Structure formats: C-alpha cells, structure tokens
Amino acid sequence: MSVSRSDILSLVQTQLGEILEKSPSDIVEDATFADLGADSLALIELVEALEESLAKESAGFHIDDEDLEDLTSVRLAVDYVAAKLQAA
C-alpha cells in the first residue's frame, strides 16, 4: 500500500495538532512551523511520531537529523516525507 501526499499531509496535521494542542484544520499546508509556534522540541516530537506512524509503510522509515533544519514548513515536511517514501 502506498501513502498518498494527502495522507501524509493529514498525518502531519493530526500529529502536529496533538503536539501543539491545535485543531488539525488550523494547520494549513502553507504555514511555517514558526507561524504555528512549533519549537525544535515540537519538531522532534513530530519526527518521532511520523517515523512511528510510517514504519509500517516503509520499514525503517527515518528522518535524518541534518535534514530537520531544512524542514521549516508543513509543505516542506510533507514533500520531504513523500519523496522519502517514494525512494524507499
């Protein structure tokens, strides 16, 4: 089963919503993490949640720490995850 880009967006919105205590519908794709008030700790939590959620789709799915600093918005995070899943 492949994960669509919209599935990934929904997953990011849901996970980030839980972490930031916001409604997933308030987390728009164009938002930067800074706009949402997500600090580096929140992003680490998001990465861990995504890795856990996507491990069943792609064994050993992992977001590299050095890539994390480039992921500054919801859109960039979704694009990154989508590209990584396609490459797996």
- The CATH number of the domain holding residue 57 is 1.10.1200.10
Q: Which residues have a Cβ under 8 Å from the Cβ of 16 and sit 6 or more positions away?
A: 22, 24, 27, 36, 38, 42, 46, 74
Number of domains in the chain: 1
CA nearest to 75, candidates 8, 43, 39, 29? 29
Token pair, residue 22, equals: 């916001």
Q: Domain of 37?
A: 5-87
What pTM did the predictor assign?
Answer: 0.91
Q: Which residues of the chain have pLDDT under 50?
A: 1
* pLDDT tens per residue across span 37-55: 999 999 999 999 999 999 8
